[in-house]
Amino acid sequence: MTSIPRPIPRPIPRSKARFASSESGAVAVMFALMLPVLFGIVGLGVEAGIWFKEKRELQTLTDAAAVSAAIERTHGADAAALSAAALVAANANGFDAASDTVLHVGAPTSGPHAGDAEFVEVRVKRALDTILSQVFHALDYTATARAVAGTVGDMDACLLTLDPSSANSVSINGAGTSVNVDGCAVVANSSDPDAVNVANGEMDAECIWTAGGIGGEENIDTTCEMNITGATTVPDPLAALAVPPYDPVGCLHGPGVNPYSPSDGEVLSEGVYCNGISVSAGDTVTLSDGIYILDEGDFKVNAGAHVQSSGPQGVTIILTSSSGSGYGRININGGGSVALQAQTAPDASGTVQGDYTGILFYQDRAGGSSPSLDNVVTGGSDVELTGAVYSPNNDISFSGGSTLDNNDCLILIAQNVSFNGSADLDNSCDMFGGNPVRYGAAPVLVE
């Protein structure tokens, strides 16, 4: 039997073997499939950097818009003017109407200052460009920036009236009356068209700042660029200051129904004086350093009497009431003379007076507002006061040719203040740690 020879397999060419075992095609396919994903990821990374830059630019223009609007607010701008001021500042800092939208200009809608018209919130939205990232995700990307700004006073005022609506809140009316406010301003919170009125006489001041208007401006000489009307109000800088605790039973003088009347030449010491202090006509009385609490009575200087403080540390005179009635006032009349200085240093025992440093007279706000509590200096009195005279609910008037002079630092804070007699208010208040009354429109970002 003849065997049939088997065919000899032909060897596979090496080139074809390599092709059969090659995986390069799979890699190519995988790479092709992954390429859009990788492209999108790279695109997102690149555009994220661009978006971060645009977000920073958006925040910068929003901050500028808020600051500009806050400044305009201090000048009494309405909603339209606030928006216009914000847009001008935004345009100057890169606002693009094609991609940017102003969402809000006005009182803050959220945060610690929500609803407070003393601050301005600005919110701006920007549409972000997407090119490479669209490969990865087809979305519209936007960025939003928010800023809240307000203003703080950066200049000093020596006279501040707190009445929100009174005409003649600061009034000068008297032939020959001259009021010199040296190195500081006059501020009136009243919205009346004649909030500050120099009807007869003259006033020299650094500036006038009022929520209302100015009457008799031709009789006012100021050194600032311009007086400001329709301005924002200035808060009471001593609103948080309270009457110190004291024992009304432990009166050093009294108790009784009459004020304490010191003898001629007497030197008084600090403490509680029930029913006030009344210095008799022609007598001379000296107040030693410290705090004088007048419980239910006036500080009264009668015709021709003389009152002075003696020590280097000064005095604070507080007009209050332990019973809630019978509050007192300042009453200087009939040619009396007063030379008093507020506390500037520790008292004789070494105790620092703290909150009352720089406060010469403090009329308790708890007494409310009444004509019987208005403070008066009348009848040719000669008064030299150094420190702050504080009457938050009542008026202070200088009339009958009385003179308020030679005051290194005098600050008047009251509901209203009137002059019919010459006065000199100065701002050399370094010995009291500076002037507490600040006005102006220095902008500050708060959020």
HEC string for the chain = CCCCCCCCCCCCCHHHHHHHHCCHHHHHHHHHHHHHHHHHHHHHHHHHHHHHHHHHHHHHHHHHHHHHHHHHHHCCCCHHHHHHHHHHHHHHCCCCCCCEEEEEEECCCCCCCCCCCCCEEEEEEEEECCCHHHHCCCCCEEEEEEEEEEEECCEEEEEEECCCCCCCCEEEEEEEEEEEEECCEEEECCCCCCCEEEEEEEEEECCEEECCCEECHHHEEECCCCCECCCCCCCCCCCCCCCCCCCHHHCCECCCCCCECCCCCCEECCEEEECCEEECCCCEEEECCEEEEEECCCEEECCCCEEEECCCCCEEEEEECCCCCCCCCEEECCCCEEEEEECCCCCCCCCCCHHHCCEEEEECHHHCCCHHHCEEECCCCEEEEEEEEEECCCCEEECCCCEECCCCEEEEEECCEEECCCEEEEECCHHHCCCCCEECCEEEECC
Higher pLDDT, 256 or 121: 121
- Structural domain containing residue 71: 25-152
The pLDDT value given to residue 350? 54
Total residues found in the chain within this entry: 447
Do 148 and 160 have their domain in common?
A: no
92 occurs within a structural domain: yes
> Which residue, 130, 152, 174, sits at the end of a domain?
152
Do 106 and 223 have their domain in common?
A: no
Q: How confident is the model at residue 395 (pLDDT cuts 50, 70, 90)?
A: very high
Do 54 and 179 have their domain in common?
A: no
Residue 31 has pLDDT above 90, yes or no: no
Average pLDDT over residues 83-96: 92
The pLDDT value given to residue 103? 92
16 occurs within a structural domain: no
The pLDDT value given to residue 421? 81
> Which residue, 120, 152, 184, sits at the end of a domain?
152
Q: How confident is the model at residue 334 (pLDDT cuts 50, 70, 90)?
A: confident
> Which residue, 95, 120, 152, sits at the end of a domain?
152
Written as six digits, the tokens of 231 are 């301005």
Do 67 and 188 have their domain in common?
A: no
Residue 255 CA to residue 407 CA, distance in Å, equals 35
Residue 298 CA to residue 259 CA, distance in Å, equals 8
Average pLDDT over residues 246-260: 78
Do 86 and 163 have their domain in common?
A: no
251 occurs within a structural domain: yes
Residue 195 has pLDDT above 80, yes or no: yes
7 occurs within a structural domain: no
Average pLDDT over residues 98-118: 90
Number of domains the chain is built from: 2
The pLDDT value given to residue 337? 86
pLDDT in tens, 261-304: 999 999 999 999 999 999 999 999 999 999 999 999 999 999 88
Do 220 and 198 have their domain in common?
A: yes
8 occurs within a structural domain: no
Amino acid at 434: G
Do 239 and 115 have their domain in common?
A: no
Do 76 and 186 have their domain in common?
A: no
Measured CA distances, 83 to 69, 124, 174, 230 (Å) = 7, 12, 44, 18
Average pLDDT over residues 359-386: 92
Q: How confident is the model at residue 251 (pLDDT cuts 50, 70, 90)?
A: confident
Residue 45 has pLDDT above 70, yes or no: no
Model-wide pTM > 0.85 = no
Do 263 and 322 have their domain in common?
A: yes
Whole-angstrom distance between the N-terminal and C-terminal Cα of the chain? 108
The pLDDT value given to residue 211? 93
Do 385 and 307 have their domain in common?
A: yes
Residue 220 has pLDDT above 90, yes or no: yes
- Mean pLDDT computed over every residue of the chain: 85
Residue 38 CA to residue 117 CA, distance in Å, equals 51
pLDDT in tens, 59-84: 999 999 999 998 888 777 888 999 99
Do 142 and 200 have their domain in common?
A: no
